Structure 1
C-alpha cells in the first residue's frame, strides 16, 4: 500500500527541509562574495563608484564653500553633504544594478540552467545573493565612511540615535534593493543587453533622487516622481542620520519624515519579494 501524504505530513516535511534550505543558502554566501570580488568591472562600477564620485564632487565643489540650509544657519562641507547620497547610491548599486546584471549574465551563460538541475532551492539561491549584497554593502559603506572621515575630513555623527537611523535605513534599503535586483534581472532579453537595460534606470534614479543634485533644487514634478521609488527615501533617511537637524527644511515636506521612509522602504521590499518570486526562473520561458 502506498503512503498517503496528508497536509499535516507535507507541512512537517516542508518544515524539516527548511533548515537545509537555509543552510544551503548560507553556504552560498561565501561563494557569491568571492565571485563578486573576482569581477573587476563589478567591483569598480558598484563597489568603488560611490567613493570615486564622492571624491569628484568634493574636489570640484569645495572651493564654493560650505553648503547651508539657509541664511544664518551653520553649513557643512561639500563632502559631508554628499556623503549620505553616496551611501544610498551604494546600496542601490550593490543590490539593483549588481544583481540584475549578474543574474541576467548567469542566465545567459547557462549557470542558472545548471543550478536548476541540482537540488538547490530558489530560496537558497536568493539567500546567497542577499548575503552577498549585504556583505559587500557593509564593506562598501565602511570604506566610504572611513575615507570620508580620514581623507575628506567629514565629521561623522556621534549620537547613537543617528547611527541607529543609519542602521535601519541601510538594512531595509539593502534587502529591498537586492530583491528588486533579482526581479529586474528578468527584464533583459540577453546577458549582453543587461547592462544597457539596467544601468540607465539606476542612473536616472540617482539624478532625480538627490544623490548628485540637491533634492530641494529639483522641480516639484521631479521630486514627486522620485518619491515613487526607493532611492529617494534611502537618500532622505541617510541625510537624516548624517546631516544636522537644520537641513530637514531642504526636504520635500520640510522634515525628515522617517516614518514615511520606513513605510516606503517596506513597501518596496514587499514588492521586490513578490516580484522576484513570481518572475524568477532557472530557465527563461522563451528560451
Structure 2
C-alpha cells in the first residue's frame, strides 16, 4: 500500500485491504417490497388514520341502514334493500379514501416535513418509493373492503355474490379504481401549499365527489346536471361498477343509462389512470415550494 507524505500526516492513496466497498443495491422489486412493508407499518402506527379509513365506510353504511331501514326496499318489488344498494358506494368511497385521500395528504405532509428531500438524497430509486406507496394502498384497501363486506353480510344481511363472473367484475373495478385513485393522489399531492393545509384541500374534494357520485344518495334521483358532472370523475364509475356486482340484474333499471356500462367504466378509469400518471410525472415535487 503506497502513502503520500503531506508534511504533517501520512495519507493512504489506496483503500485498506480486506475492507469491502459498498455492494450493489437489491433489485427494484425487492426494494419496492421492503418499502411497502415500511409504509404499511407506518400507516398502522397512525391510529387516527387507521380508524378513519377503516371505520368510515362501515359507519356510513350503518347510518344509512338505520335512517332508511335495513329491510326497506329502494324500489318496491325490487328486493333491493337500502343497505344492499348503498354497499357498492361504500366500497367505492373506501377505495378513494385508501388511495386518493390517503396518498394526497400523506405525501404532502412528508414533503413539508422534509422527508421526501432526505429520501431523494439516498440511493433508493424513486420508483421503489412509489411502489411502496402502491403496496400500502393495496393492503389497506383489501383489509378495509374485507371488513366492510363482513359487516354488511353479518350485521345487515346483505347477500354477497355467488357467481365467479361478478367477483371478476369486482376484481377489475377494484384494481383499476385503486390504481387510478393512487395515481390521482400522487398527482394531487402537489396542490396543497403545505402539509398543514393538505387535509383542508383534499377532504372537501372527496366529500363533494361522494355527494354527486351516488354514494350518499340514489344516483338516479340526483339532478341530471349533477349526474353529468359526476360522470367526469372516477368515483361515479367505481360506484356503478360495484353496483353491477352486488345488485341483482333487475336493479339495472335504477341506472339512468339503463345498463351497467362496464365498457365505459373501464375506459374512464383507465383514462384517469393515464392522465394522473402523466400529470404526476410532470408536477411531482420532492421539496417544499419555498425550498427551491
Do residues 42 (structure 1) and 42 (structure 2) align? no
Do residues 156 (structure 1) and 163 (structure 2) align? no
Do residues 59 (structure 1) and 66 (structure 2) align? yes
Contact map agreement 2:96 2:181 (CA 8 A) in 1: yes
Indicate the RMSD between aligned Cα atoms, in angstroms.
1.6
Contact map agreement 2:111 2:117 (CA 8 A) in 1: yes
CA distance in 1, matches of 2:280, 2:184: 7
Do residues 101 (structure 1) and 105 (structure 2) align? yes
Do residues 25 (structure 1) and 29 (structure 2) align? no
Q: Which residues of 2 match residues 74-223 of structure 1 at below 5 A?
A: 74-223=78-227
DSSP 3-state at the match of 1:76: coil
Q: Which runs of 5+ in 1 are unaligned?
A: 1-16
Contact map agreement 1:179 1:272 (CA 8 A) in 2: yes
Deviations 1:178-228 (A, max 9, x none): 110011110000011000000000000000000001100011110000000
CA distance in 2, matches of 1:130, 1:63: 36
Q: Which runs of 5+ in 2 are unaligned?
A: 1-23
DSSP 3-state at the match of 1:151: helix
CA distance in 1, matches of 2:25, 2:254: 47
Deviations 1:29-62 (A, max 9, x none): 1111111111122112222211111111111111
1:18: how far off? 11
Structure 1 or 2, whichever has the larger Rg, is 2
1:285: how far off? 4.6
The answer for the alignment partner of 1:231 in structure 2 is 235
Contact map agreement 1:210 1:232 (CA 8 A) in 2: yes
Contact map agreement 1:47 1:140 (CA 8 A) in 2: yes
CA distance in 2, matches of 1:161, 1:209: 25
For normalisation by structure 2, the TM-score amounts to 0.88
CA distance in 2, matches of 1:155, 1:243: 9
1:143: how far off? 0.7
CA distance in 2, matches of 1:63, 1:142: 20
Q: Which moved more, 1:199-208 or 1:266-275?
A: 266-275
Could you say which structure has the higher helix fraction? Answer: 1
1:19: how far off? 7.4
1:274: how far off? 1.3
Contact map agreement 2:53 2:144 (CA 8 A) in 1: no
Q: Which moved more, 1:134-143 or 1:244-253?
A: 244-253
For normalisation by structure 1, the TM-score amounts to 0.90
CA distance in 1, matches of 2:133, 2:243: 27
1:286: how far off? 3.7
Contact map agreement 2:241 2:262 (CA 8 A) in 1: yes
CA distance in 2, matches of 1:63, 1:148: 11
The answer for the alignment partner of 1:10 in structure 2 is none
